[in-house]
Structure 1
């Protein structure tokens, strides 16, 4: 520790840094200790506790980092293993290879155990908080798995907050004021411990919020799935910082004597001024991130204010306790690297080299043609943007952030291309479907209306950043059955995946699983949004399509009733549901799935449809791809959870292993 900062801490640590025949013992992340201790016995024992608890706390932060590293390593290995298995399955199918009789009849015990464990976890942890008003109010629409992970993090941090300290109290004399006594206790080192943990968690909080996510690169989990943990890690850091502040305020304002001179001297020190600034900034960060505040101030204000306040907060933390900058430097570095990579990727994406079609080099925005589908009432218009761009194809399921310079250079929003990524003559075709609700999408709809009124060929400039996310079809084996469920503009997530899977399965040999699409829209005319893609899908005759219009009397494609189970399958569903206390006869499923009211607004029970799809398959596991409103995603999770049966998977019946790929960006 620098000697210049020693006097500010001398009173706090009751050590005489200028005494003769003393040495300074360095402690990583803390003030150096004066040895030998020349204070009274109680003060020396207190200092032993302070420095011992701090040193162990720094070791514990290393253990936390090591634990996170091990978890990430296991997740990365598991991710690579799933990719390898899917690739081997595809290569076997393309080559026309057949499995041996042993492989086709009995799967290895290790594979059955892994499949049973996955089915068990999905059945019990995939359900979300939709059925619990209290949990929904606190945590939002999140899964049990995320809540279990959060509970594990809280328990782990609680353990390290109290471990490695003895809990006692000392009454020590005040040398300058005979008759007065200081009360020294474990409150001091405990307050320091939670403060150190708040510093140590800062890089993790930044890491969970980055769009260019190292976590996604290692595990294959899209960056948006970490938003829940980022928010709650922010809550944890706020609580830890508040407890650290309250603890030392009690000590300096009440337990140390004489008062109020000790408190005045303490609050005037530079490190304390920066501490107060850091706590105020953290309070602002916490308040502005509350959902009710975001709704009132707008998401764009929250996002920009969050960026600025977070960086200034880290700087204030540095001013408060520079000895722990080993935790602050990585947080700053991660943020700046994330921003630099975003800017660099966007610049590279729009940098045009000389080509037969271009007479100059430099940055150029894409020019998107606009097709407008007017909405009725308060529904809002739907816009289709199409353009070609010189770039390599993205992966199916990935999304881009689109910026519209004619509206604002400082806003961008995530959209998934509905077009299948294909490279033709050096260009890749983009097509996007978006609904104009409020904010920039509403402004874009107004811009489109003005341009279309001036002429039939309306275009607007688009700046891309991305792609982000992962290939949702990469882990899907040829033998697996795939159900795509979409609500409204959520079709942009599932339709390209369905087209890619259909094309891939028709290009190779071997048996393939079933492919099915259930698209819930307001009116059957909404199918015009993606007519080119549906025309391509019709080329593959083995893809079952159901377009369910909730506000029309008729639906297109396969009817919902045709997707319901037969009486035999219905009996199996009823049998498998006795443990959960529900019963689904064929008539019961039909009633729930079709549903109706006086306005003929029919919303299918997608949970029943998911279960019916899994039960109807003759062989192979099933995968559900879903995107849509929050209520729909909750129903899909419920259906997938109920379709998993660990006991039957262990017995070798993989039909009862159902996975879910969900586009959680729709929850934003």
Structure 2
């Protein structure tokens, strides 16, 4: 043989080959000089214990998931569907110390770990996620350095008197960090999977793992870079004679594949940064990410196939994720076709178009489809085959699922700004223009659009909600789709008399209320006997007439019988503006005397709104459900964190426990 992965061994004098899992075979007995043989002992020992350490790393991950799953089972709160006596008696029974302990611990944890971490470095993520990343990095660092012989050996070069190699612990260490990088590859893929086993075990939605997936990729890149730098120092400087050793080393096939893997990994890291995503566009980034990731794994296999034990499971997880997605879509759409035969077909959805050239048109989709009910809080990925079959987008239905029904009603609203949603808006607008009897702003029409569904995905927001928990929902713009089903579900069940429920919805213009007018009307009817309030803030009311004077502020037809609502309007303080507001309110059955109309061009004071809500509760903890822009979510995290009082919870006052559940995928 010419050169090999362990080229300091003399294969011509081998009497026995000693296999080592995940590494090149060793020739025994060692016939090199004593220093080289001692160095090989250190190298193979460091690798062998390193493989054990990767097993410990995965055993630790598995143990954490097992404990998490067991804890979820035994620490479940009251199911949302529990039947309560109409007077609500008996639900505020005093909790034991064993029951109060996890609640108080959770409250303390939210107070310090819920706010955003360093936004400049990590973006809008909580301290909990960053702490998890730091613990993981610290744990990996320990296994990177332990079990390695840190020593220096100066050994002679054969047939070259006076020339010496310098061998150090850098070689075993570089191998170790490379092995751990390989071992983390399946975990990185698991963290990116939509059909996530991690979600099944932990109950966390798959998107909550995106942060760890991205930063674990950065960790793998750093590990691979250090592995490469280590061997460059060894082969280009410490081994002699130069440049002969370096040229022979770099021309080996496994080294060429290693260089290819590093180039691809660098491209993956650069394209996954916010700058890279903006440069390529999200959809292009996503497709490139898939392709480059698969090529990277192939290059890693070419570089060191002995570690395929980590690469093949990663590929299996990836392909299973894609296969399950296709299977779920097929099952959702295999149904009776209009011809009466069974087959696969897209669902025709009624399209309602809300024109807004400045901020982006809003589209509402309504359709019925035969399948089982999803859980409140979950979302579907929707593909529009009339535009393209290669893209899908996550949308949360704001309609309420009906358990046991043969057919489910789907209703979605989304703002079309750019990309695929912009194409859908343009397609819908063209169809409406071709039918002059249809209104372009908010009226239903014969305009239909075929859709394909995949899902449902995400968390069950109300499945573990205790019946005495007070609920505050906060939404910005189309974020109403996330919180509205929560309120509809709660309002459809018997409620304790002390429970407090409220909705705060911020929209730009008064006519935006038409997006979900039927659902608001339903909510109002269901909330008549509850301690519930609905507050809608209109932040740009003064712009309505100036930008589009021909379009009525609120369509009376679309909002007939809608719920009585408090509308706080941002605009000028002119009398004409007040008259316009009063006219809009009368459509919703709200007299001007029933509310205070504040003409302040600002968003609602969320700190005061959330604080007043919690202070106004009689008993029980508070759950805040929110969906909107990143700034709103970050602000709410800080507000909710400050309202948590673990000491009060431990003493039996559940009002010191305030939880935040948010969906920050939508923009205000």
What is the TM-score when the length of structure 1 is the normalising length?
0.88
Structure 2 residue 463 is the aligned partner of structure 1 residue 474: yes
Q: Which residue of 2 aligns with 1:17?
A: 11
Contact 2:363–2:414 (CA<8 Å) still a contact in 1? yes
What is the rounded CA distance, in whole Å, between the counterparts of 1:96 and 1:557 in structure 2?
27
C-alpha distance in structure 2 between counterparts of 1:43 and 1:483, whole Å? 69
Which residue of structure 2 lines up, in the alignment, with residue 422 of structure 1? 402
Q: Do residues 125 (structure 1) and 113 (structure 2) align?
A: yes
1:55-103 Cα deviation digits (max 9, x unpaired)? 11111111110111111112212222344x322x853626999649xx8
Answer yes or no: is 1:271 the counterpart of 2:249: no
The verdict on how the C-alpha distance between 1:223 and 1:631 changes in structure 2, with shifts beyond 3 A counting, is: same
2:508 aligned partner: 522
1:557 to 560, 565, 571: 565
Q: Provide the aligned C-alpha RMSD in A.
A: 2.3
Paired residue secondary structure (2:660): strand
**Residue correspondence of structure 1 range 328-339 to structure 2 within 5 A:** 328-339=311-322
CA–CA distance in structure 2, aligned partners of residues 240 and 467 of structure 1: 36
Match of 1:372 in 2: 353
Match of 1:178 among 155, 161, 170: 161
Q: In the alignment, what sits opposite 1:86?
A: 78
Q: 1:114 pairs with 102, 105, 117, which one?
A: 102
Q: Residues 425 and 170 from structure 1, CA distance in 2 versus in 1: closer, same or farther, beyond 3 angstroms? A: closer
Unaligned stretches of 5+ residues in structure 1: 1-5, 130-134, 562-593
Give the deviation of 1:517 after TM superposition.
Answer: 0.5
Corresponding residue to 2:3 among 4, 8, 11: 8
Q: Which residue of 1 aligns with 2:647?
A: 647
CA deviations on 1:513-546 (whole Å, 9 max, x unpaired) are: 2111010111222111001100100112122100
Q: Which residue of 2 aligns with 1:432?
A: 412
SS in structure 1 opposite 2:492? Answer: helix
Q: Helix, strand or coil for the counterpart of 1:551?
A: coil
Deviation at 1:348, TM superposition (A): 1.0
Counterpart position of 2:582: none
- What secondary structure sits across from 2:176 in the alignment? helix
Other-structure match for 1:50: 43
Of the three residues 66, 72, 75, the one matched with 1:73 is 66
Question: After superposition, what is the alpha-carbon deviation per residue over 1:222-271, rounded to whole angstroms, capped at 9, x for unaligned?
Answer: 00000000000000001111111111111111111111111111111111
C-alpha separation in 1, matches of 2:150 and 2:616: 62
Higher helix proportion (structure 1 or 2):
1
How far 1:199 moved relative to its partner?
0.1
Aligned to 1:566: none
Tell me if the contact between 1:417 and 1:430 (Cα under 8 Å) persists in the aligned partners. Answer: yes
Runs ≥4 residues deviating over 4 A = 94-100, 553-556
Using the alignment, how far apart are the partners of 1:91 and 1:400 within structure 2?
27
2: distance between equivalents of 1:90 and 1:499? Answer: 13
Q: Secondary structure at the match of 1:471?
A: coil
Structure 2 residue runs of 5 or longer lacking an equivalent are 439-445, 543-552, 555-563, 570-595
Q: Secondary structure at the match of 1:9?
A: coil
Aligned equivalents of 2:277, 2:377: Cα separation in 1: 28
**How far, CA to CA, are the matches of 1:78 and 1:547 in structure 2?**
39
Cα distance in 1 for residues equivalent to 2:53 and 2:362: 53
C-alpha contact (below 8 Å) 1:499/1:537 kept by paired residues: yes
Q: Equivalents in 1 of 2:86, 2:240: separation in Å?
A: 83
Residue 11 of structure 2: SS of its match in structure 1? coil
Answering whether residue 203 of structure 2 is matched by residue 220 of structure 1, we say yes
**TM-score, normalised with respect to structure 2:** 0.88
Summarize deviations over 1:326-349 as a string: whole Å, max 9, x none: 000110000000000001111111
Cα offsets for 1:562-593 (capped at 9, x unmatched) = xxxxxxxxxxxxxxxxxxxxxxxxxxxxxxxx
Q: Could you tell me which residue of structure 2 aligns to residue 584 of structure 1?
A: none
1:243 — aligned with what? 226
The corresponding residue for 1:63 is: 56
Indicate if the aligned counterparts of 1:478 and 1:511 stay in contact, CA closer than 8 A: no
2:84 counterpart SS class: helix
Cα deviation for residue 512 of structure 1 reads 5.6
The corresponding residue for 1:569 is none
Is the Cα–Cα contact under 8 Å of residues 372 and 405 in structure 2 kept in the other structure?
no
* 1:287 CA displacement: 1.2
Hey, what's the Cα distance between the residues in 2 that align with 1:301 and 1:321?
A: 30
Aligned to 2:547: none
Range moving further from structure 2, 521-530 or 488-497: 521-530
1:546 alignment counterpart:
535
Task: Report the Cα distance in structure 2 between the residues aligned to 1:424 and 1:480, rounded to whole angstroms.
Answer: 26
Q: Does the Cα contact within 8 Å between 2:498 and 2:619 map onto a contact in 1?
A: no
